[in-house]
Amino acid sequence: MDAMNCPRCRKVFVKRLDPLCPPCMKEEEDIYEKVREYVKDNPDKMIKDVAAACDVTVKRILSYLREGRLSTSAAMHGELLCGQCNKPILTGRMCEKCIMDTNFTVQGMKNDAAIKNRGQIHTRR
Protein backbone atom coordinates (compact mmCIF):
# COMPACT_ATOMS: atom_id res chain seq x y z
CA MET A 1 0.00 0.00 0.00
CA ASP A 2 1.11 3.54 -0.71
CA ALA A 3 2.04 5.78 2.17
CA MET A 4 2.04 9.55 2.04
CA ASN A 5 2.72 12.51 4.28
CA CYS A 6 -0.36 14.30 5.50
CA PRO A 7 -0.18 17.82 4.08
CA ARG A 8 -1.67 19.17 7.29
CA CYS A 9 0.27 17.48 10.13
CA ARG A 10 3.11 15.87 8.11
CA LYS A 11 2.48 12.45 9.62
CA VAL A 12 2.84 9.43 7.35
CA PHE A 13 -0.38 7.61 6.67
CA VAL A 14 -1.68 4.99 4.26
CA LYS A 15 -2.93 6.69 1.13
CA ARG A 16 -6.66 6.60 0.52
CA LEU A 17 -9.29 8.81 -1.03
CA ASP A 18 -9.11 11.51 1.63
CA PRO A 19 -6.45 14.15 1.08
CA LEU A 20 -5.53 14.18 4.79
CA CYS A 21 -4.76 11.59 7.47
CA PRO A 22 -7.77 10.30 9.48
CA PRO A 23 -7.22 12.47 12.61
CA CYS A 24 -6.84 15.58 10.44
CA MET A 25 -9.93 14.70 8.42
CA LYS A 26 -11.82 14.46 11.70
CA GLU A 27 -10.49 17.83 12.84
CA GLU A 28 -11.34 19.45 9.52
CA GLU A 29 -14.83 18.01 9.80
CA ASP A 30 -15.19 19.38 13.34
CA ILE A 31 -14.11 22.84 12.17
CA TYR A 32 -16.61 22.72 9.35
CA GLU A 33 -19.37 21.71 11.76
CA LYS A 34 -18.42 24.55 14.08
CA VAL A 35 -18.58 27.09 11.25
CA ARG A 36 -21.86 25.69 9.97
CA GLU A 37 -23.46 25.80 13.42
CA TYR A 38 -22.17 29.30 14.05
CA VAL A 39 -23.54 30.63 10.78
CA LYS A 40 -26.88 28.99 11.50
CA ASP A 41 -27.06 30.53 14.99
CA ASN A 42 -25.68 33.92 13.91
CA PRO A 43 -27.22 34.88 10.57
CA ASP A 44 -26.34 38.52 11.23
CA LYS A 45 -22.58 37.91 11.11
CA MET A 46 -20.45 38.74 8.09
CA ILE A 47 -17.85 36.30 6.78
CA LYS A 48 -14.97 37.96 8.63
CA ASP A 49 -16.89 37.86 11.92
CA VAL A 50 -17.61 34.16 11.45
CA ALA A 51 -13.95 33.56 10.67
CA ALA A 52 -12.86 35.40 13.81
CA ALA A 53 -15.45 33.67 16.02
CA CYS A 54 -14.58 30.19 14.75
CA ASP A 55 -10.84 30.86 14.58
CA VAL A 56 -10.58 30.02 10.89
CA THR A 57 -9.48 32.02 7.84
CA VAL A 58 -11.88 33.97 5.66
CA LYS A 59 -10.49 31.96 2.74
CA ARG A 60 -11.68 28.74 4.33
CA ILE A 61 -15.21 30.04 4.75
CA LEU A 62 -15.24 31.23 1.15
CA SER A 63 -14.14 27.79 0.02
CA TYR A 64 -16.98 26.17 2.02
CA LEU A 65 -19.36 28.53 0.27
CA ARG A 66 -17.88 27.80 -3.14
CA GLU A 67 -18.05 24.07 -2.55
CA GLY A 68 -21.70 24.52 -1.65
CA ARG A 69 -21.10 23.06 1.83
CA LEU A 70 -22.22 26.27 3.49
CA SER A 71 -25.00 28.67 2.56
CA THR A 72 -24.57 32.40 2.84
CA SER A 73 -26.51 33.94 5.71
CA ALA A 74 -28.45 37.17 5.25
CA ALA A 75 -25.46 39.23 6.43
CA MET A 76 -23.15 37.52 3.93
CA HIS A 77 -25.18 38.48 0.89
CA GLY A 78 -22.90 40.31 -1.49
CA GLU A 79 -19.73 38.87 0.05
CA LEU A 80 -19.46 35.86 -2.23
CA LEU A 81 -18.92 36.84 -5.84
CA CYS A 82 -19.33 35.02 -9.14
CA GLY A 83 -15.94 33.86 -10.43
CA GLN A 84 -16.83 35.03 -13.93
CA CYS A 85 -18.73 38.31 -13.73
CA ASN A 86 -18.19 39.31 -10.04
CA LYS A 87 -21.91 39.54 -9.37
CA PRO A 88 -22.89 38.63 -5.77
CA ILE A 89 -24.04 35.03 -5.48
CA LEU A 90 -25.43 32.96 -2.62
CA THR A 91 -23.48 29.75 -3.09
CA GLY A 92 -21.14 27.95 -5.47
CA ARG A 93 -18.55 29.45 -7.82
CA MET A 94 -20.64 31.21 -10.41
CA CYS A 95 -23.98 32.96 -10.82
CA GLU A 96 -26.80 31.18 -12.62
CA LYS A 97 -26.25 33.09 -15.82
CA CYS A 98 -22.55 32.20 -15.99
CA ILE A 99 -23.30 28.54 -15.19
CA MET A 100 -25.75 28.55 -18.11
CA ASP A 101 -23.19 30.22 -20.38
CA THR A 102 -20.51 27.71 -19.40
CA ASN A 103 -22.84 24.80 -20.02
CA PHE A 104 -23.61 26.14 -23.47
CA THR A 105 -19.91 26.52 -24.23
CA VAL A 106 -19.16 22.96 -23.14
CA GLN A 107 -22.10 21.67 -25.16
CA GLY A 108 -20.92 23.67 -28.16
CA MET A 109 -17.43 22.20 -27.91
CA LYS A 110 -18.84 18.69 -27.72
CA ASN A 111 -20.89 19.32 -30.84
CA ASP A 112 -17.84 20.63 -32.68
CA ALA A 113 -15.89 17.52 -31.73
CA ALA A 114 -18.72 15.28 -32.86
CA ILE A 115 -18.85 17.00 -36.22
CA LYS A 116 -15.07 16.70 -36.62
CA ASN A 117 -15.16 13.01 -35.73
CA ARG A 118 -17.88 12.36 -38.25
CA GLY A 119 -15.80 14.17 -40.84
CA GLN A 120 -12.80 11.99 -40.08
CA ILE A 121 -14.79 8.80 -40.46
CA HIS A 122 -16.10 10.10 -43.71
CA THR A 123 -12.68 10.99 -45.15
CA ARG A 124 -11.16 7.68 -44.05
CA ARG A 125 -13.63 5.74 -46.15
Task: For Zn ion, give the closer residue by CB, 40 or 87.
Answer: 87
Which amino acid, 24?
C
Task: For Zn ion, give the closer residue by CB, 90 or 98.
Answer: 98
Task: For Zn ion, give the closer residue by CB, 70 or 80.
Answer: 80
Kindly state the smallest distance separating residue 96's Cβ from Zn ion, in Å. 8
Task: For Zn ion, give the closer residue by CB, 24 or 58.
Answer: 24
Q: Could you give the count of Cα atoms lying within 13 Å of 81 in the half-sphere of its Cβ?
A: 6
- Binding site residues, Zn ion, CB under 5 A: 6, 8-9, 21, 24, 82, 84-85, 87, 95, 98
Kindly state the smallest distance separating residue 52's Cβ from Zn ion, in Å. 25
Helix (H) and strand (E) counts for the chain?
Answer: 4, 2
* Nearest-angstrom CA–CA distance, 18 and 6: 10
Kindly state the smallest distance separating residue 39's Cβ from Zn ion, in Å. 23
* Nearest-angstrom CA–CA distance, 3 and 13: 5
* Nearest-angstrom CA–CA distance, 66 and 60: 10
Kindly state the smallest distance separating residue 93's Cβ from Zn ion, in Å. 9
